Structure 1
Amino acid sequence: MAAVIILSGGKSSRMGTNKALLKINEKTNIERIVEELHGFFAEIILVTNHPDDYRFLVVKLVPDQFPGLGPLAGLQAGLSASTHEVNVVVACDMPFISGSLAEKIAAKNDGFDAVIPVIDGKKQPLFAVYHKRILPVIAESLEKGKLRMTELFEKLHALYLTEKDLPEYSIRKLERTFFNMNDPEEYEQAKGWVKRDD
């Protein structure tokens, strides 16, 4: 079994508002993510420094232990709070997340510190799997100010998955699943996709 850690600590500077709480078809982005993952994972942890914004969700809320240090600090907080060894980490701005894909990549964590999808040649650290045992490595990176996820990967025994390793998912499905909304234009794009799919 694995847990899910949703990171909702970004500043949303390009969007201008909290991306997690933007609505798509009358449902907030964070609700879409939680509902999609809930059927596949027993434990869902949301890392946020604004817990009052998320009281409506039935998930465990935890704050950053190293505020202001980005996704790596969020990963540290989530892994510390998790009761599972294997954890799927998801960003809060991915409205088309796939529970079945999350479950699949979690199942590939056989002796690895991390399982990192590489889609269209880009590593996807914020929809990936991390083992709880890497906490000391993360703590060392945070203390040294090495905050990039790619720097963390260099210290881990990681499995990288490309499109070829996920043949049951079409390229279009993978691109949609790993899409994240960083600015108003991408938000409108996501709403347009949902409207066309209805």
Structure 2
Amino acid sequence: MIIIMAGGRSSRMGKEKPVLKVGDKPMILRVYEEAEKVGETVVALSKNTPKTRELCLKEGIPFIETPGEGYVKDTQWLLSELGPFISVSADLPFVKSSDIYSILRAFSGEESLTGVLPLKLVPKDLHPVVYRGYAIVGLNGVGIEGEKFFEFRNPLLALNVNTPEELKLARRIAELVER
């Protein structure tokens, strides 16, 4: 199962991120359309994302309501309720079905896979979270125990939209690549 994580508070953005548009559609729809090509997909919502809930209801997108106590706790809750899954952040506007498919194929369900991007592939204007010499991306396999890295090659996975500046950049990129 693929779960789109869309229940965060969006504190750095100041607005509910999943419903913000990049290109001609809300980020949650961009991510959902790519994930749905790969397999069964559900959106994880919380009390923090009422507009995302409304959009899911309007578009007929299946969702599950989490406690809304933060990414880690909600991920743990989802794992206990549903078992191992592929997690995709709702604020990854340039994730492709091929990215999701590649981690799904490598994921056994036992050991967690943390999606990473080699720093040499990260575009210069981006400032991703760096851990052990890699950029962490919001596409993971959430398993029962352990953890290893899974390397991606799509440089746009480094753009996780968390701030107004990153949203502007994502919109500029969408204009360029989606003509």
1:158 to 141, 147, 157: 147
Q: Counterpart in 2 of 1:78?
A: 78
Q: Contact (CA 8 Å) 1:15, 1:183: kept in 2 or not?
A: yes
Q: Between the two proteins, what is the percent identity of the paired residues?
A: 23
* Aligned counterparts of 1:111 and 1:178: Cα–Cα separation in 2: 24
Q: Counterpart in 2 of 1:110?
A: 108
* Aligned counterparts of 1:101 and 1:25: Cα–Cα separation in 2: 20
Q: Counterpart in 2 of 1:99?
A: 97
Q: Counterpart in 1 of 2:8?
A: 10
Q: Counterpart in 2 of 1:150?
A: none
**Which letter does structure 2 place at the counterpart of 1:184?**
P
TM-score by structure 2 length? Answer: 0.78
Post-superposition offset of 1:54:
2.9
**Which letter does structure 1 place at the counterpart of 2:103?**
I
CA offsets, 1:67-124, max 9 Å, x none?
3x31012213433453xx5411011111011211111112112364211122223363
Q: Counterpart in 2 of 1:142?
A: none
CA offsets, 1:120-177, max 9 Å, x none?
233636310013xx3xxxxxxxxxxxxxxxxxxxxx3222123xxx5xx3xxxx2202
SS state of the match for residue 91, structure 2? coil
C-alpha change, 1:89 and 1:53, in structure 2 (3 Å) is same
* Aligned counterparts of 1:111 and 1:56: Cα–Cα separation in 2: 32
Q: Counterpart in 2 of 1:148?
A: none
* Aligned counterparts of 1:34 and 1:8: Cα–Cα separation in 2: 11
C-alpha change, 1:123 and 1:87, in structure 2 (3 Å) is farther
Residue 146 of structure 2 corresponds to residue 128 of structure 1: no
* Aligned counterparts of 1:157 and 1:78: Cα–Cα separation in 2: 17
**Greater strand content:** 2
Q: Contact (CA 8 Å) 1:47, 1:78: kept in 2 or not?
A: no
SS state of the match for residue 7, structure 2? coil
Q: Counterpart in 1 of 2:127?
A: none
Query: Which structure: larger Rg?
Result: 1
Post-superposition offset of 1:62:
1.7
TM-score by structure 1 length? Answer: 0.71
* Aligned counterparts of 1:178 and 1:102: Cα–Cα separation in 2: 15
* Aligned counterparts of 2:46 and 2:96: Cα–Cα separation in 1: 22
Q: Contact (CA 8 Å) 1:47, 1:77: kept in 2 or not?
A: no
Q: Contact (CA 8 Å) 1:86, 1:109: kept in 2 or not?
A: no
Unmatched tracts of structure 2, length 5 or more: 120-132
2:56 to 50, 54, 60: 54
